[in-house]
Structures are given as structure tokens and as C-alpha cells.
Amino acid sequence: MIGEKLIFERGAPGRRCATFPMAVDSGAAIPTTMRRDIPAALPEVGELELVRHYTALSQMNFSIDTQFYPLGSCTMKYNPRVHEKAARLPEIAGLHPLSEDAQPALRVIWEMEQVLKAISGMDGFTFQPAAGAQGEFVGISLIAAYHRARGYRKKVVLIPDSAHGTNPATAAMCGYTVQAIKSTARGTVDVADLEARLTDDVAGLMLTNPNTFGVFEDEIEKIAALVHGVGGLLYYDGANLNAFLGQCRPGDMGFDVVHINLHKTFTTPHGGGGPGSGPVGVTKALLPFLPLPVVAKKGGAFHLDFDRPQSIGKVSSFYGNFGMLVRALVYAEMLGAEGMRRTSEMAVLNANYIAAKLHAHYDRPKNGQPMHEMVFSASRQKKANGISATDIAKRLIDFGIHPPTIYFPLPNVAPETMLIEPTETESLEQLDVFIDAMIRIAREAEENPALLKDAPHATPVRRLDEATAARKPILRWKRGATATAVQKP
């Protein structure tokens, strides 16, 4: 009954109300008019019930630790446990965030910068952005500062129609007008469409490579020369870096600014919007604008350099999500240059294995050779039996598999898309389980479409109305109860 005691010992005598010690101790500071008259109706439970409740909840979680997670563009690879050990060392976890002269911590940031410079071909990095999206905001702000310093007020950012939604959102947030560039039948940038849109008003082009069809932009050098030709800069969305990590570098392709999602390529955990890490790297010409401070090395010692008059300012608290840098550095050190190359080779091999096996069963809206991820479409199933990408995604859940990314690339670019990214950390056996499930679902679409329309069948809640579930989530859960309020009629 230890748990009981812990929870209830501070309760008012005679009333078994669950009041936590903190609340009692700080209660005196709360004005009487604002204090509650009756105790809160908290559940009265013992430790065992509590443990069972949370264990049951944890087992309803879907994660890379439990099941296959081919969520395209998100690079859901295994997060090695050794990273956690390193990040939890008391010397690291206990470091005060305001310590400005913790030499080993500054060294971690500095060494991570050397790693990212080597793999990206950039000349310097900021580690403040807490995600790729924030990295984009910082990167485009840097491009704006660069043009401003030269006396230009350029108005347009060009972005391929297949791009991730954060790209146009970022450009718009930074005050630019967005113009979409068409994709070719292969899925790459339509260079003629790009050329037609190039004017002196173009501040830059945001590009993911390989793009979100999983296809490498093999005309990238020509594209870079065209954009640079009108005084624009190239922004590299590094979400798909896992496709050529250690093999080629965005800097050599002509990119001026990059962000790298450490929680994708460098296996630091993705966490429901954070804490992630989206460091931004730039070429020499943009170094003066980087957020301050940056870590610098003088003699054998490191320091935080605040002396940057042209900096766009501070963009995050402290120096970013430092624990993520520890994890990413451990990952990089363990792999080394050879390991990184092997990582991307295996990621591409795994994706191409799936692409080849599913080729006969699903349409591919773009015909370019995929790299680390591929886009299939449910258009054939839709035409024949009214089965959508959503139906296929929901049915996959019954097989214990996380759905791929669906409807991205967007329906106006390609119909009923399913973006599949297996990553390099999955075994051949697991890939075969996924392939078998996808083939079986294609057969079910023909023989028993109703089964797919009703899927998932094996989950605590069935098919949800996703808009209602997102806008009015039911956050209470009771064993045996079903979330009928958000279930489709």
C-alpha cells in the first residue's frame, strides 16, 4: 500500500481526497477566493491499479520499438539505446542550461558541427532550431538577411509542387510569395517551368533531394546554375538526406543553405512535435547571419561567440536541444564515414526491394527510379472497387503495420498517394511481411472491398472521423470503453 500512502497521506482528515503534497504546501499562497471548496474528484486507486492502467496505455502505443513504421519522408529508423545511455550520463543530463563555459558540452556542439560540415559540404552550422520546420524558417530568414544586406528586396520563393507543406508555409511566414514548379513524369523538377519563372525577384528555390517522390534530382547542377544566375539562393530541405548520406553532398550540388533533421537521418527520437533537432548549415557568404551565439574554438578552448553584428538574432532558448546533439554525435561516431555510406546504401536497397515486389500490384504515379522511399498510388483500386489510400492504410493497421504517409505528395500532384520508406534498420524478413500484407490487401480490394472500407478491425477504436478526432480529441479512456463519440456512424 505504499502507493496509497503516497497519494493520500496529505488528504484532509476523514476525507480521502487525493491531494498532492505540492498542492498543500503551496496552497497558502493561493487567494481564498480562488481556492476550491470541495476536493477534486480524482480517482482513488492503489499503486497496482495505477501500474496496470499505465502499462495498458503504454501497450496501446504504436512505436518503432514495437512495430514496422514505413512512414514516408519521416525516416522512422531504430533509435539505438546507446544514445540514451550517453544522453543520460549525469554529467550531461545534470548540466545547467545556463552554463556558458562547460568545455565538454561546447566540444559536443563543435564536433557535431564538424560532422555535419563534412557530410553536407557547408561551412558552418547553427544548432538552435528544434525541428526541420524551424530550421526552414531560420534558413529562409538567413536568405532574406543575405539579400537585404546587398540592398535587395526580392519577393518570390520557388518550390516544386511535390514539396512538403512546411516549405511553402515557411516561405510565406518569411514574407515571400510562393510559386509552385511543376513535376515531370519522372517526378523531378520541370526545368522548363523553372526557367519560365526565373526573374530578378526570385530570392531562392527550396528543394528536397531526393524529392518527396523519392526520386533524385539529377539535373540539380543545372538547376543551381539557373537559380544562381538570377541572384537567387538554393535551400536544401534535408529530410531525405538518408538516401545519400556519406555518398554525395548538398554543398557540391550547389545548395547554399541546408537543414538536417537529426531526428530522421541521425536516429535521435521523433517526439510528437519535439524535442527534435533541425540544425541549419550555410556556405561562407551566409555565415555572418547565423543565429547567435555560435560555438567557436580558440587555441584548445571553446567559447560562445556573441560578437556577430549581422546575426538574425536568437531563434531558440539556450543552444537548441542539446541532448539530441549528444545522441546524434554518438550515432555519427559509431558509424564513421564508411558506416554512413553503408546506411544510405541499405536504405536505398530496402526501398527498391519493396518497390520491385509491389510493382505489379499498385500503380506508381511517377516513373523515376526511387531511392530511399517510393510513392505508390491506390488509383487502380479506386477505379475498380472504390478503395482509397485511406482504406489501404487503415487495413495495414490490422496487420500490425503503421500506415505509410498518405495523400502526400498532394492529390493535385498525384492521386491517392502512399509514400513508403522502410529505412535501413529493417530486416529482409520484416520487409517481406510488409510486402505480403500489401499484396494481400490488393487482393482483398478486389474480392472483399467491404473488409477494407471497415478497417481497422483489430484496434481499441475503429475507423475514426479524423477531423473530429484531431479537433475534439477524447483524452479520457476507460478500460472496455470505446470512443463512440468520434467513431464514424
Ligand X SMILES: *Cc1c(COP(=O)(O)O)cnc(C)c1O
Binding positions for ligand X, rule: CB under 6 A:
73-74, 131-133, 164, 166, 208, 212, 237, 239, 261, 276, 278
Instruction: Answer positive or negative: Cα dihedral of 40, 44, 49, 50.
Output: positive
Q: What are phi and psi of 354, to 5 degrees?
A: -65, -45
CB of 317 to ligand X, least distance (A): 17
CA–CA separation, 233 and 224 (whole Å)? 8
CA–CA separation, 236 and 255 (whole Å)? 6
Sort 447 into a burial class: Cβ within 10 Å, 0-12 / 13-18 / 19+.
exposed
Cell 536497397, residue located: 349
CA–CA separation, 428 and 343 (whole Å)? 15
- Quick count: other Cβ atoms within 10 Å of Cβ 203? 27
The answer to whether 171 touches 163, Cβ cutoff 8 Å, is: no
Q: Which residue lies nearer to ligand X by CB, 261 or 390?
A: 261
CA–CA separation, 360 and 345 (whole Å)? 24
CB of 417 to ligand X, least distance (A): 14
CB of 449 to ligand X, least distance (A): 31
Q: Which residue lies nearer to ligand X by CB, 419 or 442?
A: 419
CB of 410 to ligand X, least distance (A): 13
CB of 167 to ligand X, least distance (A): 7
CB of 393 to ligand X, least distance (A): 17
CA–CA separation, 245 and 296 (whole Å)? 26
CB of 9 to ligand X, least distance (A): 44
- Quick count: other Cβ atoms within 10 Å of Cβ 5? 10
Q: In the complex, which residue's CB is closest to ligand X? A: 132
CB of 261 to ligand X, least distance (A): 5
Q: Which residue lies nearer to ligand X by CB, 187 or 278?
A: 278
CB of 173 to ligand X, least distance (A): 13
CB of 445 to ligand X, least distance (A): 28
CB of 206 to ligand X, least distance (A): 9
Strand partners, 189: 183
Cell 475503429, residue located: 462
Q: Which residue lies nearer to ligand X by CB, 133 or 397?
A: 133
Q: Which residue lies nearer to ligand X by CB, 173 or 451?
A: 173
Q: Which residue lies nearer to ligand X by CB, 212 or 417?
A: 212
CB of 163 to ligand X, least distance (A): 7
Q: Which residue lies nearer to ligand X by CB, 159 or 393?
A: 159
Q: Which residue lies nearer to ligand X by CB, 131 or 140?
A: 131
The answer to whether 379 touches 415, Cβ cutoff 8 Å, is: yes
- The closest alpha carbon to 174, from 149, 130, 138, 131, belongs to 138
The answer to whether 406 touches 389, Cβ cutoff 8 Å, is: yes
Cell 558541427, residue located: 113
- Rounded alpha-carbon distances, angstroms, from residue 276 to 105, 136, 349: 18, 14, 27
Three-state SS at 103 = helix
* Half-sphere exposure of residue 260: CA atoms within 13 angstroms, side-chain side: 34
Buried b (16+ CB within 10 A) or exposed e, 306-334: eebeebbeebeeebbbbbbbbbbbbbbee
Cell 546533439, residue located: 325
- Rounded alpha-carbon distances, angstroms, from residue 6 to 14, 36, 39: 16, 22, 17
Q: Which residue lies nearer to ligand X by CB, 119 or 387?
A: 119
Q: Which residue lies nearer to ligand X by CB, 263 or 395?
A: 263
- The closest alpha carbon to 487, from 468, 458, 465, belongs to 465
Report the Cα–Cα distance between both ends of the chain, in Å, rounded.
44
Q: Which residue lies nearer to ligand X by CB, 74 or 464?
A: 74
Q: Which residue lies nearer to ligand X by CB, 264 or 382?
A: 264
